[in-house]
Amino acid sequence: MRKYSHSRSKRIADQIQKDIVEILRRRVKDPRIQWVTINDVEVTEDNTWAKIYWTVLDDNKKEEVTQALDSAKGFIRAELSKGFQTYTIPQIKFVFDDSLIRGSNILNVLYKLKNE
Whether the CB-CB separation of 93 and 70 falls below 8 Å is answered with no
Residue 4 has pLDDT above 70, yes or no: no
SS3 6: helix
The full set of domain ranges for the chain reads 2-114
pLDDT at 2: 34
Residues 17-74: tens digit of each pLDDT: 999 999 999 999 999 998 899 999 999 988 899 999 999 988 889 999 999 999 999 9
What kind of fold does domain 2-114 have according to CATH? GMP Synthetase; Chain A, domain 3 (3.30.300)
Whether the CB-CB separation of 94 and 54 falls below 8 Å is answered with yes
Phi and psi angles of residue 34, each rounded to the nearest 5 degrees, phi first: -55, -40
